[in-house]
Amino acid sequence: MGPARVRLRGGAVLAELTARFGAAAHAKVLAGEVVDADGTAVDDATVLASGSHVYLYRELPDEVPVPFDMPVLYRDADIVVVDKPHFLATMPRGRHVAQTALVRLRRELDLPELSPAHRLDRLTAGVLLFTTRRERRGAYQTMFAQGKVRKTYLARAAVDPGLVLPRLVRSRIVKRRGQLQAVCEPGAPNAETLVERLAPDGLYRLTPRTGRTHQLRVQMASLGLPIVGDPLYPKVIPVPDDDFSTPLQLLAQRIEFDDPITGSRRAFVSRRQLQGVSS
């Protein structure tokens, strides 16, 4: 991964970085490991204006290895498609850095410009597409952002005999910074999902028409059918980082789209299976 960019408040760089990030940042400045926008190492006498940026490599936290493989479903000069396991974040965020799909793949495939075209939640498994080169990134990311990709998910949940399915679930979902859960609120709908039950034992097909944060998990919980293994919905259940015993039973099973570069129709399908619902 590249260095972290830090926007300064202005003044003595050493004092500011030490106050904000502690002794580790102090040591990096003295060791010449922090540079300004021109690539010049800052030192204990450097003063920069407010709004200036410096760059440094942050210390990686100790991470619990995610003990599941990530098979490559397809690879060519432009894209890599993988079958992401549960518990592996798509890209670095917070305490998850090395144990992410992006960092693993950059190392394993020796592709330093690899970038995700979209994201899956850390707890969601399934089909995930990456671009291999910077010049291809925009075309594929735009395709996902504009809703031009048909996505199909499978989920396990309880069965409510009184609930009429299939149904199109439309709701307004809001996710606020600093809050673990997204919530449904009154107002114009911004999230739509077609919910179908495929089997009597609680296997569902979910076809989202939008891509809000935690959309499928929130909407299934709103129907009284929270997805099996969900530690956030309908209530938050703390789970240690080293507990891989109860994966969320949600799988990004298939994506289908017209390739923005070649124009050909593409479809990729996960080879993973969901566990059955416990009685």
Query: What's the average model confidence in pLDDT over 151-170?
Result: 97
Mean pLDDT is lowest, of 79-83, 106-110, 264-268, for 106-110
> 37 and 154 share a domain?
no
Residue 274 lies in a domain: no
Residue 262 lies in a domain: yes
Residue 66 lies in a domain: no
Residue 261 lies in a domain: yes
CA distance 61 to 158: 38
CA distance 74 to 224: 37
Beta strands in the chain (DSSP E): 4-7, 11-12, 35-36, 47-48, 53-56, 72-75, 79-84, 115-116, 125-131, 150-156, 167-171, 173-174, 183-184, 191-199, 203-208, 250-258, 265-269
Is residue 1's pLDDT more than 70? no
> 39 and 109 share a domain?
no
Residue 133 lies in a domain: yes
Query: What's the average model confidence in pLDDT over 30-41?
Result: 89
The domain total for the chain is 2
SS3 218: helix
Is residue 279's pLDDT more than 50? no
Check: CB of residue 111 under 8 Å from CB of residue 131.
no
Alpha-carbon dihedral angle through residues 63, 117, 52, 60, given to the nearest 10 degrees? 10
Residue 64 lies in a domain: no
For residue 110, which amino acid is it?
Answer: D
SS3 141: helix
Check: CB of residue 155 under 8 Å from CB of residue 201.
no
> 49 and 112 share a domain?
no
> 38 and 88 share a domain?
no
Q: Residue 19 sits in which domain range? A: 4-56
Phi-psi region of 6 (alpha: psi -120 to 50; beta: other; left: phi over 0): beta
pLDDT at 137: 94
Whether pTM exceeds 0.85? no
> 142 and 179 share a domain?
yes
> 9 and 127 share a domain?
no
pLDDT in tens, 96-117: 778 999 999 999 999 989 999 9
Check: CB of residue 34 under 8 Å from CB of residue 42.
yes
